[in-house]
Amino acid sequence: VEDCAQAHGAQYKGRHCGVLGAAAAFSFYPTKNLGAFGDAGAVTTNDPEIAGRVRKLRNYGEERRYYHLMHGINSRLDEMQAAILRVKLRHLDAWNDARRALAAQYRQRLRETPLVLPDEAPWARSNFHLYPVRTPERDALADWLKEKGIGTLMHYPIPIHLQPAYASLGWTRGAFPVAEQACDETLSLPLYPELAPETVDQIADAVVAFFDKR
């Protein structure tokens, strides 16, 4: 099962994400590369059995009206959100191309800094939903950029094993040091299709200045 919540239009070895496994789950939350105006999502599959089960699960397990075969939920995509997504879908490739161009600009400008930058394998094509960079000085860099009027975000700052919801599993800090380090060091720089290249240069200048003063 593919988690494609942030993979709209991305490719793996020439194939689009969403067709690689038995099924794939997409999120169309408004902040995604392809977002509705409210909560929305979809499951893609070529397996009729999986498709039939998902159709039941999305509507309280109902096979036909008032006839329920399993426990389910109300997870139907309403017509308004579907119509919005249909219109926006035709722009997805262009939006992703714009993101890729901005990501390339970031890489060019920041490659001489101590930051760990997002990498892209030659057989992959990222949609750059985010532009996360890594540094042990994450918090100080975020504060510095905030002083310059540049907003950043810290996505997923707490690893799964340290979430209170999974405390019963008994994992403590130090159990997964690589995941913990990634969560402690990752900072997302601004990235969206309408972001002007001149603004990326201003952001990059501020990042470079931060490390120059260290």
> Is there a domain that residue 86 lies in?
no
Residues 6+ apart with CB under 8 A from 209: none
Residues 130 and 55 in one domain: no
CATH of the domain at 189: 3.90.1150.10
Q: Are residues 61 and 15 in the same domain?
A: yes
pTM: 0.92
134 with 202, same domain: the answer is yes
Q: Cα separation of 189 and 68, whole Å?
A: 47
d(CA 53, CA 108): 47
- Same domain for 193 and 118, yes or no, is yes
Q: Does residue 72 lie in a domain region?
A: yes
Q: State which amino acid sits at residue 14.
A: G
pLDDT per residue over 73-118, tens digit each? Answer: 999 999 999 999 999 999 999 999 999 999 999 999 999 999 999 9
Task: Give me the residue label for tokens 């060019």.
Answer: 108
Domain edge (last residue) among 81, 106, 122: 81
**What is the residue whose two structure tokens read 């402690």?**
184
For residue 132, what pLDDT is reported? Answer: 99
Question: Domain range holding 171?
Answer: 93-213
Q: How far apart are CA 117 and CA 107, in angstroms?
A: 7
Q: What is the pLDDT of residue 54?
A: 97
Q: Are 131 and 155 in contact (CB under 8 A)?
A: no
Q: Say which range, 13-27, 54-68, 174-188, has the weakest mean pLDDT.
A: 54-68
Q: How many residues does the chain have?
A: 214
Residue 214 has pLDDT above 90, yes or no: no
The verdict on residue 143 lying in a domain is yes
Specify if 187 maps to a domain. yes
Q: Kindly report the CATH number assigned to the domain that includes residue 16.
A: 3.40.640.10
* pLDDT reported for residue 3: 98
Residue 87 located in a structural domain: no
User: Quick one: 108 and 76 in the same domain?
Assistant: no
* Domains of the chain: total: 2
Which residue, 47, 81, 115, sits at the end of a domain? 81
Query: Does residue 162 sit in the same domain as residue 184?
Result: yes
Residues 29 and 117 in one domain: no
Give the separation between CA 159 and CA 163, rounded to whole angstroms: 7
Identity of the amino acid at 165: A
Q: State pLDDT tens for residues 7-16.
A: 999 999 999 9
Cα 198 to Cα 107, 130, 194, 195, distances in angstroms: 15, 19, 11, 8
Which tens digit of pLDDT belongs to each residue from 137-158? Answer: 999 999 999 999 999 999 999 9
Same domain, 50 and 97: no
The token duo for 156 is 């997923």
Residues facing residue 186 across a β-bridge: 134
Is 190 contained in some domain?
yes
The Cα-based distances of 190 to 152, 154, 193, 197, 206 in angstroms read: 6, 11, 10, 12, 13
5 exposed, middle or buried (CB, 10 Å; 0-12, 13-18, 19+)? middle
Q: pLDDT of 2-41, one tens digit each?
A: 999 999 999 999 999 999 999 999 999 999 999 999 999 9
Residues 77 and 106 in one domain: no
SS3 (DSSP) at 9:
coil
Domain boundary among 46, 81, 116: 81
d(CA 59, CA 41): 14
Tell me whether residue 16 is in a domain.
yes
Output 63 or 208, whichever has higher pLDDT. Answer: 208
- Identify whether residues 106 and 63 lie together within a single domain: no
On whether residue 202 sits in a domain, the answer given is yes
Q: Is 56 left (phi over 0), alpha (psi -120 to 50) or beta?
A: alpha
Average pLDDT over every residue of 51-65: 94
If asked whether residues 41 and 106 sit together in one domain, one would say: no
